[in-house]
Structures are given as C-alpha cells and as structure tokens.
Amino acid sequence: MPARIEALINSLYRSESRRVLASLIRLLKDFDLAEEATQEAFTAALHQWPHEGVPQNPRAWLVSTGRFKAIDQLRRRARFQTTLDDVVDELEEAISDGEDWDEQLFADDQLRLIFTCCHPSLAPEAQLALTLREVCGLTTEAIARAFLTTPSTLAQRIVRAKAKIRDANIPYEIPGREQLPERLSAVLRVIYLVFNEGYSASSGENLIRHDLTLEAIRLGRLLVQLMPEPEAQGLLALMLIQQARAAARQDEQGDLIRLEDQDRRLWNHAQIAEGSALIRQAFNRGGAGIYSVQAAIAAVHGESPSFAQTDWHEIVGLYDLLLRLTPSPIVELNRAVAVAMRDGPASGLSLIEALAERGHLKDYYLFHAARADLLQQLGQLDAAQQAYRLALALTEQAAEQRFLQRRLTALGAG
C-alpha cells in the first residue's frame, strides 16, 4: 500500500471516525452495529483506495460503505434469525442514497448523537460516560479515571446505557424547541467535558488535543445556532477564549508554558474578541450562569495587555459570583489563587490550607501544585518540594509531569 494513502486513512480515522460513527448510528439506529460498521468501512478503505483511488468525498464514502457492510452483516444473521429480514428491508428502503450524502445531515449528526446520549431517561453518569465514549472516542480506561471508577464498572455502565436507548426506543434526533430547555443543561455539561479533555488532556504525551477542542467548539456553535440561549453562548465564549491561547501554552518541545510566561502575541485576539462579544450578549440577556461567569473570567485574562496588568480585583469578584452559583472546592481553589495574586501569597495560602483542613482536593494534583507555588513564594522550600512531589505523583499528563519536575529541579530537589 502506498505510504501516502495509508497516512491519509490514518489521518481520516483520527479526524473523521467519530463523525462517521455518528452518521452510522443515525442510519442504523444501533450503537454496536454502527461501531462494527465504522471499523469495517475503514478496513475497506485500506484495501480499496490504493487500487481504486481516494474518493472525492472520503467521509461520505466511509458512511455509505459502512451502511452497506452493516446490511450485509444483518443479511447473514437473518439466515438464522428471520425477524432481521424486516430490519434489513427497512434500512434499504427508508434511506435514499441522496440522503446518505447530504452534508447538512453529516454536520448535525454528532449534535443528534449528543442529545441522544444525554437523554433524561439515562442517569447523569451514564450520559457523560456514553457521550465521552461514543462522541469523543475516549477509551474506557480514560473515562474510568475521570469517574474515579474501574474500567469494568465503566464498561458495564456504557453497555446498560446503550441497552436503555435501544429498549426504550429513545429517538436519535435533536429535540423539538419546546423540549430543548430541559435538555440543555446535560448537553452543555458534556460539551464542556469534551473541551476540557482536549484543552488539558487527562493523560498521554500531548497537553492539548486540538481535535477535541475544535470539535467541542464546532458543537457549541451548532448548539448556539439551534438555541441561542445565554448559557449556550457563555459556554461557546468560554471555549473560544480558552482555545485562543493554545499556540502559546506549549513550547516547541511540547512543554507547558504558564499563563504569566506566555507570549500574548501568539494568542488569537480575533477569537478572544468573538468570545467577549458573546459574553456581553449573554449578560445583557440575563445570562449570569456558570459558563458565562467562567467565560467572563477568561475574558479578563484574554483582554489584559500583560499578566502584570491583569485586573485581579475583577477576577476575584467574578469568582465570588461563581461560588454563589456553584459552590465547589475547585472554584474555591481557583479563587484562592486569584486572591493570592490580588493580596499576596500568604492570603491565598491561608485559603488553600483551609481547603486542606476540610479534606478537599487531596487527590487533585493542581491543588498541590498551587499550594507548592505559594509555599515557594513564601520561602517555605521544604514544604514546597513535598507539595510538588505530591502533585507529580497524581498527574498522568506527560507535559504536566515535565513542568512539575522542572519546578522540583529549580528547588534543588531534582
């Protein structure tokens, strides 16, 4: 096989496989069958494209091939289970070739899939697990780490969620406008999780997974077009402003660059301006929700000409508002860091130590990293070293590990 075509198919698998899967779930109305069909379609591409050439529309070819592979499989099964004949006939008759190749359907398929995975009849943890697995393609192991559970337990949760969708005939569709408000919260949460996994990957060599951040932003744009509610605008604004800093967050070796050390000339200021405009729209419409407030905090950073000129008074005030909306130890930690910037490291450290006394965030590496940084600023170097070691032991992200190891080395604890 020519190396060029193999590289192209591998690239398409990374960028398009989840979209192909979403379209096949729409067409086949069966998660497991669609997953098998997706794999068979890419396998067929590996065998056929080197001889027949790359099709003009590779994604449409993969979807169409996957559907016919699934129909062939169902026909083979129908020899032993005659009730499948009707299913095959329905699949062949209900969907025209023209619809298969409709780009607008492709564009909306992942949003349809998210609404299906976030259906209110599914438990919240099942909604998140299923969406991260099916829409984002995260491994069962990675999702299990996020849920602080075992891969086998997580796998069972996903299997049960798929069975519930099948047995309850949950529709694979974007709900009608009258149903959207009650369904919006779960969808926003899932898109936010997708973005976060891309913006700061939970494990692996790469700090940023641009495929996930860009996909989350694309889904966020689709959602705002469908339902321009303040919190949908706020989430899109938050993702745009955060992702605008991507080019400055890593050096050429892939190592982490802290916010205060980033070259702000590398930031996408047009994207920051777009996000800031969305925030203003959201707040003008009474949208002081959790995503809008987080977006406002990001906008203060994004619009500051330098780290030294950041308005920490405004940021602390926004964190106060966020804490009222969603009391959380992580929000308290972020507020403590902002207080340290406004009032000095001792003030921030006292807030962090109060969190520790309540037993919060002991397994959260950023808690120990933030505490270590403030201890270092206060000259408590032995305690800072110990906190950095704890943070290092708790993260599985390679870029974060290298960053923390450099901090330890700088303290003479290499």
- pLDDT, tens only, 322-365: 999 999 999 999 999 999 999 999 999 999 999 999 988 988 99
On whether both 125 and 198 belong to a single domain, the answer is yes
Q: Give pLDDT, residue 94.
A: 46
Q: In this structure, what token pair is assigned to residue 114? A: 């998210």
H/E stretch holding 230 reads helix 230-243
**Three-class HEC string of 365-410:** HHHHHHHHHHHHHCCCHHHHHHHHHHHHHHCEEHHHHHHHHHHHHH
Tell the burial category of 212 from Cβ atoms under 10 Å away from its Cβ (0-12, 13-18, 19+): buried
Tally of domains in the chain: 2
Q: Give pLDDT, residue 193.
A: 84
Q: Give pLDDT, residue 329.
A: 93
On whether both 19 and 55 belong to a single domain, the answer is yes
Q: Is residue 311 part of a domain?
A: no
Q: Would the pLDDT of 98 be above 50?
A: no
On whether both 121 and 42 belong to a single domain, the answer is no
Distance CA 45, CA 25 (A): 19
- The rounded mean pLDDT for the chain is 87
Q: Is residue 223 part of a domain?
A: yes
pLDDT digits (tens, 9 = 90+) for 166-176: 999 888 888 88
On whether both 140 and 84 belong to a single domain, the answer is no
Q: Give pLDDT, residue 251.
A: 85
Distance CA 68, CA 232 (A): 37
Q: Is residue 70 part of a domain?
A: yes
Distance CA 320, CA 327 (A): 10
On whether both 126 and 146 belong to a single domain, the answer is yes
Q: Give pLDDT, residue 333.
A: 96
46-60, 71-85, 94-108, 110-124: segment of lowest average pLDDT: 94-108
Q: Please give the average per-residue pLDDT across 274-299, as a whole number.
A: 93
Q: Give pLDDT, residue 81.
A: 57
Q: Is residue 347 part of a domain?
A: no
Decide which of 98 and 204 is more confident: 204
Q: Would the pLDDT of 122 be above 70?
A: yes
- pLDDT level of residue 414 (50, 70, 90 thresholds): very low
On whether both 94 and 7 belong to a single domain, the answer is yes
Enter the DSSP assignment of 204: E
Q: Give pLDDT, residue 386.
A: 94
Distance CA 19, CA 47 (A): 21
Identify the domain containing residue 182 by its residue range: 105-227
Distance CA 100, CA 92 (A): 11
Q: Please give the average per-residue pLDDT across 204-215, as a whole number.
A: 73
Residue 407 phi/psi, 5-degree rounding, is -65, -40
Distance CA 268, CA 225 (A): 23
Which residues does 251 contact at the CB level (< 8 Å), separation at least 6? 257
Q: Percentage of the chain surpassing pLDDT 70? A: 89
Q: Which of 227, 249, 276 corresponds to the end of one domain?
A: 227
Q: Is residue 207 part of a domain?
A: yes
Q: What residue type is assigned to position 291 of the chain? A: Y
On whether both 144 and 213 belong to a single domain, the answer is yes
Q: Percentage of the chain surpassing pLDDT 90? A: 50
Of 37-46, 71-80, 192-201, 394-403, which has the strongest mean pLDDT?
Answer: 37-46
Q: Please give the average per-residue pLDDT across 177-195, as a whole number.
A: 83
Q: Would the pLDDT of 157 be above 80?
A: yes
Q: Which of 170, 193, 227 corresponds to the end of one domain?
A: 227
On whether both 144 and 218 belong to a single domain, the answer is yes
Distance CA 380, CA 404 (A): 17
Pairing state between β 203-204 and 396-397: parallel
Q: Give pLDDT, residue 403.
A: 87
Q: Look at residues 202, 199, 201 and name the one whose alpha carbon lies nearest to residue 215.
A: 199
Q: Look at residues 127, 228, 220, 108 and name the one whose alpha carbon lies nearest to residue 170.
A: 127
Q: Give pLDDT, residue 78.
A: 64
67-71, 85-89, 259-263, 369-373: segment of lowest average pLDDT: 85-89
Question: In this structure, are residues 292 and 282 in contact, taking their beta carbons and an 8 Å threshold?
Answer: yes
Q: Which of 227, 252, 286 corresponds to the end of one domain?
A: 227
Q: Would the pLDDT of 238 be above 50?
A: yes
Q: Give pLDDT, residue 83.
A: 57
Q: Give pLDDT, residue 213.
A: 87
Q: Would the pLDDT of 383 be above 90?
A: yes
Q: What residue type is assigned to position 230 of the chain? A: P
Q: Would the pLDDT of 91 be above 70?
A: no
- pLDDT level of residue 309 (50, 70, 90 thresholds): very high
Decide which of 43 and 171 is more confident: 43
Q: Is residue 362 part of a domain?
A: no
CATH of the domain at 93: 1.10.1740
On whether both 67 and 119 belong to a single domain, the answer is no
Q: Is residue 255 part of a domain?
A: no
Q: Is residue 260 part of a domain?
A: no
- pLDDT level of residue 203 (50, 70, 90 thresholds): low
